[in-house]
Amino acid sequence: MRLPSKFAVQLARLSPRDADFIYNEADGHLGHLIGVYFFDTSQRPESEFSREQAVEWVTARLGHHRMFTHKVRRIPLGLDHPYWMPVNDFDIRDHVHVTDLTEPGWASLEKPLSALMTSRMDLTRPPWELHFFNGIEGLDDLDGRLTAVVLKSHHSAADGIAIRMLGESIFSGEERAARHVPVPRLLKVRVLLESLASIPSQMFRFARSVPGNRAAQRSANAAQSAGEWVESLNERPATRFNGKVSGSGTLQQLTLPGAVIGGVKHAVPGATVNDVLLAIVGGALSRYLTENGEPPGGSLVAMVPRSMRKVEEWQSANQLVTLSVDMHTSVAAPLERLALIAQSSRSEKVRTSHPATRRVDAAIETAPAFLLRFIAFARSRNSHDVTRPRYQHTMVSNIPLSVEGLTLNGAPGAAVLATQPPVDGDGLRHFMVAAAGGGLTLNVIADTATMPDLHHYIELLRASFDDLAAAAAMQTADSPDQEVAS
């Protein structure tokens, strides 16, 4: 039984990979992304919108992405994965907010940003919010008067790269009004009938994929045993950041000069900017734990998302796999540690690029709804006891957001931040984005209960960066042609 093609055009089922973010949504595991775009309004005061102007500006751009005009419709009894369902009568004022800040400095913006970061989204409505904060002044790394536009969206609708493309669209000056999509009669009943009718094909597809998935796992194990990559999923002692989160978070950032990062990278052949970031984080995190009387019980490991858009042809909004990169925090020498990190990063890229591993990662695409819901339920029962071992300790992600060429009603883009809320098991997260002038901004998000002194951790990150920069400069001074072998 299939419903008419007209009905199929109006609805789109979430892929299992995207639906998994819906199934795992919980108070301790919020699944949204936040992009903060800063615009210099010093010479463009008309770019500081009132509520009515912001609503008008957003309304003219609702056609840029499906999530602006559709909501996620879950299927009764979990018979199928959710659908994107058009919503023509939602109140855009529920999604667009304007706040005029009166106090200078980061603190006046950090408080509402933290609240947005740690508040759960209402998934009975289209999964997005746009917040305009006017009158920002006195930021350390940004001069002038600024407006920050905060885009909050659910991960089921887009990953970091998709959000970057969306930002480039809505802040390009191009208007694209939403197209009215007529909603068929008895839509909920028809969706349920469609889901019931699809159960046999879902189960057949899943059953048919199981032997191939098992064979792929055996092939991946054989490749690892043959030395094609170094096994990274090893149990390590947990840290204070791997327990349950409190629901309160803070965020701060520091901007690092791109030229100095480049100098550190070139000091170790084969190292990347991401490897330098991992070396900075590993050094600072190890020092922070040690200062607090909790020295790591082994080398710390970072969870690093990797986009597969250039490797795979998945149809999902999210096209990511995760790397487990050893940050070799037991090694004191900065450049030697960076060289080892570069080796571990390359090994993880080899692992996730291997055809057998890719087949294993793609197994989720045939998973029926009930299976993913059961796995999500099992995850929710995890106590996240910090006395139990972990495979990873903190997230370190490079989100390719940029404000280059972006404008808000003529006001030029000045900077961008990216963030995700801390979640159970991962109460400390790091996100790197491009900064104006060729630098890089490192955004750090921490659960307040486990890191009440985020400002001190920021100082340790800068000190870790300075150690790497000094080691690279010393090496260049001693022998301009010498590099640390990796």
Sign of torsion over alpha carbons 359, 360, 361, 363: positive
Instruction: Write the Ramachandran bin of 14: left for phi over 0, alpha for psi from -120 to 50, otherwise beta.
Output: beta
Q: What is the pLDDT of residue 36?
A: 95
Q: Which amino acid is at 294?
A: E
The conformation of residue 184, written as its DSSP 8-state character, comes to: P
Q: What are the pLDDT digits (tens) for 39-68? A: 999 999 999 999 999 999 999 999 999 999
Q: Is 80 exceeded by the pLDDT of residue 485? A: no
pTM above 0.85, yes or no: yes
Q: What are the pLDDT digits (tens) for 200-213? A: 988 999 999 999 99
The conformation of residue 242, written as its DSSP 8-state character, comes to: G
For the chain, list the domains and their CATH numbers. Answer: 5-194 (3.30.559.10), 233-394+423-478 (3.30.559.30)
Instruction: Tell me how far apart the alpha carbons of residues 99 and 435 are, in angstroms, rounded to a whole number.
Output: 25
Q: Which residue has the higher pLDDT, 101 or 179?
A: 101
The conformation of residue 11, written as its DSSP 8-state character, comes to: -
Q: What is the pLDDT of residue 89?
A: 81
Instruction: Tell me how far apart the alpha carbons of residues 232 and 392 are, in angstroms, rounded to a whole number.
Output: 10
Q: Is 70 exceeded by the pLDDT of residue 7? A: no
CA 376 to chain centre: 19
Q: What is the pLDDT of residue 67?
A: 93
Per-residue confidence band for 233, with pLDDT thresholds at 50, 70 and 90: confident
Q: Is 60 exceeded by the pLDDT of residue 484? A: no
Q: Is 90 exceeded by the pLDDT of residue 97? A: yes
Per-residue confidence band for 482, with pLDDT thresholds at 50, 70 and 90: low
Instruction: Tell me how far apart the alpha carbons of residues 145 and 104 are, in angstroms, rounded to a whole number.
Output: 10
8 A C-beta contact, residue 148 and residue 136: yes
Mean pLDDT computed over 219-238: 93
Q: What are the pLDDT digits (tens) for 326-354? A: 999 999 999 999 999 999 999 999 999 99
8 A C-beta contact, residue 414 and residue 39: yes
Q: Is 80 exceeded by the pLDDT of residue 6? A: no
Q: What are the pLDDT digits (tens) for 308-320? A: 888 887 878 888 8
**Which is it for strands 96-100 and 128-136: parallel, antiparallel or unpaired?**
parallel
Which residues 6+ apart lie within 8 Å of 282 measured at CB?
Answer: 300, 302, 327, 328, 329, 337, 341, 464
Q: What are the pLDDT digits (tens) for 406-418? A: 999 999 999 999 9
Rounded to the nearest 5 degrees, what angle is found at the Cα of 194, between the Cα atoms of 191 and 195?
90
Mean pLDDT computed over 228-255: 94
Q: What is the pLDDT of residue 140?
A: 85
Q: What is the pLDDT of residue 10?
A: 56
Find the range with the poorest average confidence among 100-109, 355-364, 429-438: 429-438
